[in-house]
Amino acid sequence: MNRSVSIVCAVLAFVAACGDNPKPPEEGPPDAHVQPPAPDAPVQAAPPTRVIFFLGDGMGVATITAARIYSEGEDGDLTMDTLPYTGWVRTYSKNALVTDSAPSMSAYMTGVKMDNDVIAMSAETKAIPPGANNTVDNCAMNGANGTPVPTILEQAKALGWATGVVTTTRVTHATPAATYAHICHRDLENAIAAQLVEAAPDVVFGGGLEHFLPNTVTGGFRTDGRDLTMELTLAGYEVALDRASFAAIDPASTTKAIGLFTLSHMSYELDRDETKEPSLAEMTTKAMQILEKNDKGYFLMIEGGRIDHALHETNAVRALKDTIAFDDAIAAALVEARKDDPQLEHTLIVVTADHDHTMTLNGYAKRTGPTTGSSAGVLGLVKDVITGAPSLDAEGRPYTILGFGNGERRVPGGRASVPALDDATTGDKAYHQEAAVQMPAGGETHGGTDVSIMAIGKGAEKFHGFMTNTAVFALLHDAAGF
C-alpha cells in the first residue's frame, strides 16, 4: 500500500470513529489536506480561589440600620446592603444563650460549638481564666481539658494557600485569635501571641504590640523575655510598627508582613490619626495585594472589631463610624478582587457578625436623613412625624432615637429631675445613650438576637435562610474546595 492510500485510510478510520457518515477526503495531494495531530495543549492550572471573611464584631441589625441612616439616609445603601445573597445566623454558644466573641468566631472557623471564652478547642473544653501570668497557656497546664480543632485558616495554609488576618483590635483579641490559636481562655493573650508566631499567617495587620514585647521594654507585657517582633523579623516578616513602615511595604515583593500599629487596640475611626494609623480599608487592600500572588489561593479574615467596644460603652456615634469604616473595607475588597476576577467567579466574600448588642431604634421617629454638621440625624431625638416637635415619654421628657437595653447611663429615679435632652447633647461624640437597665461604665452586654449574613461571588448562593454559625463553617469549607 503506497503512502497516499495509507494516509487516506487512516483519516477515514479517524473520521469513522467520530461519526456514522464520514465525508470522504478531498482528492489531491494528501499532504495538502492531512496534517499530523497537534500535540496536546498544556493543561491550564485552575484559577486561584480566594475566600474573604468579614466579621463586624457586635454588628447587629440595629447597628447596620443606624449606620446606614447615619451615613446615607433611610433610602441609601451601604456596600454590604448590596451583596446579593443574605441570611440569618444563630449565634448562641455551647453553654450560653448570649455568646461572647471567642466561641462564636471559633464556630465560624472550626464548625464546633464551644463554651464562652474558649478559642478553637473541642466542645468539652472548659474555660480557665488566666492567673497573674497570661504568658503561659494554662489550658495545657491543667491537663485533659480539650484538644485543638483545626481552623479554616490552618487548613488553607496546609494546602499551600496564603493566609491573612486584619483587624482594628489587638491581633491577639478573641476574633482574630480564633483563626489561628487554640486556648481555653481568650484573655491569655501573651500565650496567643506566641501561638501566632508558630501559626505564621502570611499577613497580619492590627494592634496589640504590647503582647509581642518583653516587659523590660516600655509598653511590653511579656514576662518570658521574648521579643516576638524580633522573632518574626528573623522568620522573614516585614514588621511595620507605624504608618510610615506600613506604607513602605511593597506588595509586589513582599510575601510575609505583620503590622502592629498600637500597643493595644487601634483607635476608633472617629479618633484615628491618619498620619499614624492606616484605615481598615487600607489594611484590607494591602493584605489582598500581598496574598493574591499565591497561585493556589488565599484565605483572609477582616474584622471591624471596635464596633463592639463602642457599643459596650453605649457610644453610638463611634460604633456607627466604625461600622462605616468596616463597610468601606468591604467596598475596597470588592474593587481589589475584581481587578483580576471581574465576575467574582473564583472569589467568595462573606460578611457577618459574631453577635449583636442591646441597641435599638426607639419610638415612631420622623425620618432624619443622614447625619451632618447641622443635623444630628439618627443620633438625635425622636420627633413627631407631623409637627416635628420632640416626642415625649410618660414623664413628659424628650428621648433619643437610639437607646440600649442595658448600659451605664440610666437616670436614677424620675427623668424630670435632670435637664431635658436636645439634639446638640445627643449628637455629641462624647454622648452615651440612655439604657433601660443600669450597668457599670462600659458594661453594656451583648445581645442574643440572630445576626445577618451577606455574600457575593463563588458559592455565595448557598448563604441564605436561617443557619447556625457552625453551618457557616461548612459553607466556607465547601466554597474553598477543601
Q: Encode burial over 414-429: b for 16+ CB neighbours within 10 A, e otherwise.
A: ebeeeeebebeebbee
Any bridge partners for residue 239, and if so which? 258
Closest CA to 416 of 434, 437, 395, 390: 395
Q: Which residue type, as a one-letter code, is found at position 207?
A: G
SS3 144: coil
Other C-beta atoms closer than 10 Å to the C-beta of 15 total 14
Rounded to whole angstroms, how far apart are CA atoms 338 and 421?
47
Of 71, 93, 101, 106, the catalytic one is 101
d(CA 212, CA 260): 9
How far apart CA 87 and CA 67 sit, in angstroms, is 19
**How far apart, in whole angstroms, are the C-alpha atoms of residue 479 and residue 457?**
10
Grid cell listed for 472 = 457557616
* Closest of 411, 211, 171 to residue 302, by C-alpha: 171
DSSP element (H, E) containing 300? strand 297-304
Which of 358, 450, 363, 354 is closest to 407 using CA atoms? 358
Helix residue spans in 149-204 (DSSP H)? 152-158, 174-177, 189-199
CA distance 239 to 197: 13
Q: Grid coordinates representing 200?
A: 505564621
101 labelled catalytic? yes
Q: Say how far apart CA 265 and CA 251 lie, in whole Å.
A: 25
**Cα gap 54→350, rounded to integer Å:** 6
Q: Give the CA dihedral 52, 56, 61, 67, nearest 10 degrees.
A: -110
DSSP run (H or E) holding 333: helix 316-337
Q: Please, are residues 62 and 426 in contact by the beta-carbon 8 Å criterion? A: no
Asked whether the beta carbons of 407 and 371 are under 8 A apart, the reply is no
Residues with active-site annotation? 101
